[in-house]
Amino acid sequence: MKKIIYIICLTMLMTSSLWGQILTFKPGEKVTYTIQYGFITGGYATLQLDSDTLNGKEVWHSKIVAKTTGVADAIYKVLDIYESFIDPVTELPVRSIRNVREGRYRRYNVVLFDHKSRADSAILTSDLTGIHIAPKGIHDILSCFYYFRNHIFPVDSNLKLGGLNTIPTWFTDELYPIRLRYVGIDEIKTKVGRIKCYKFNPVTEKGRLFKTEEGVSFWFSADKNFLPVKISFDIFVGSFSTEITSYEGLVYPLEIIKK
C-alpha cells in the first residue's frame, strides 16, 4: 500500500519562480479524489495546501489523507496521512511526517531537513533511523509534487515527448528518485467534466509491484493550474484508478471542455 500512496502523492499528490511569485497554486487549494476498482469505490483521498507556522517561521503546510471506504474498509482498513512543511522561499521541505495505519500495521515517522549546514548536501534526521546525508535540494513526496507543478510545466516552453525529469526525493526513510516521462496529451472524462490533460508515465520498478516500467499513468490539466486529474495503476493484483471529484481554491479557473 505504501507504494500506491507514494504514487498518489506524487501524482496528486506535481512556471519556474519563487514561492512568492507562484503561478500554479496557492494556499487554500484543496482537491478530492476517489479510488476506483472498476465500478467499485474503494476509498478517497484529499490533498490540501495551507499557510502555517513552524518554529516561529512562516511555512506552507501540505497534507494528504487517503482512506478506505465501504467493502474495502471492512476487509482491510487503511488511513494514511502524509504531511510536509515547506519553506516558501526555497520550495524545500523542512519537516515531513508519515502516519500510516493499514490493517494492523502502524508506522509514524518524522524527518527533519537541514539544507543549510552543508554546501554540497542536505542533512536529514529521522526519528526512526537517525541521521542521513542526502543530495542537495532533496524533496519529500509532497514538496516534490509542488516543485513538479511549478518547474516542470513552464508556461513559456513546450514539453518534449519522451522527455524524462528526475527529482531527488526522500520517501519511507530512503532515497527514492522520482523519474517522470512525458508521453502526450489526452482528454479525460471525470465527474467534474471533460479535461484536456498532459499525460506522464513515472518510471516504476518492474517485478516488485508493477508488471512493466510503465505500470502507472497520470494526467495533469493542460492549463495554468497543472492540476492532477487522474491516475491509473496496472499491478500484479489488478488495475484501478484515482480520479478527481471536487476542487477548490485554485489560482485559475479549471479549464473544462465539457460538463
pLDDT per residue, tens digit, the chain (259 aa), is: 555 555 555 444 443 333 345 578 999 999 999 988 777 888 999 999 999 999 999 999 999 999 999 888 888 898 999 999 999 999 999 999 999 998 999 999 999 999 999 999 999 999 999 999 999 999 999 999 888 888 877 554 567 888 888 889 999 899 988 888 899 999 999 999 999 999 998 875 554 444 555 567 889 999 999 999 998 876 544 567 889 999 999 999 999 997 6
Q: Would you state the pLDDT for residue 18?
A: 38
CA neighbor of 190 nearest in space, from 238, 246, 106, 250: 246
C-alpha cell belonging to residue 14: 506535481
Report, in this order, helix, strand and coil percent for the chain, each rounded to 5.
10, 55, 35
Residue 93: Cβ within 10 Å count: 30
Exposure string for 96-118, b = 16+ CB within 10 A, e = fewer: bbbebebeeeeeebebebebeee
DSSP string, 88-108: TTT--EEEEEEEEEETTEEEE
Determine the Cα–Cα distance for residues 207 and 92; give it in Å rounded to an integer.
Answer: 32
Exposure string for 21-50, b = 16+ CB within 10 A, e = fewer: ebbbbeeebebbbbbbeeeebbbbbbbbbe
Domain borders along the chain are 2-248
Topology given in CATH for the domain delimited by 2-248 = YmcC-like fold (2.40.360)
Which residues, including other chains, have CB under 8 Å from residue 27's CB and lie 6 or more apart? 49, 50, 51, 60, 249
Q: Is residue 108 a contact partner of residue 98, using CB atoms and an 8 Å limit? A: yes
Determine the Cα–Cα distance for residues 46 and 65; give it in Å rounded to an integer.
Answer: 5
The helix (H) or strand (E) run that includes residue 183 is strand 178-190
Q: Would you state the pLDDT for residue 21?
A: 52
Q: Would you state the pLDDT for residue 114?
A: 98
Q: Would you state the pLDDT for residue 149?
A: 87
Phi, psi for residue 127 in degrees, rounded to 5: -70, -10
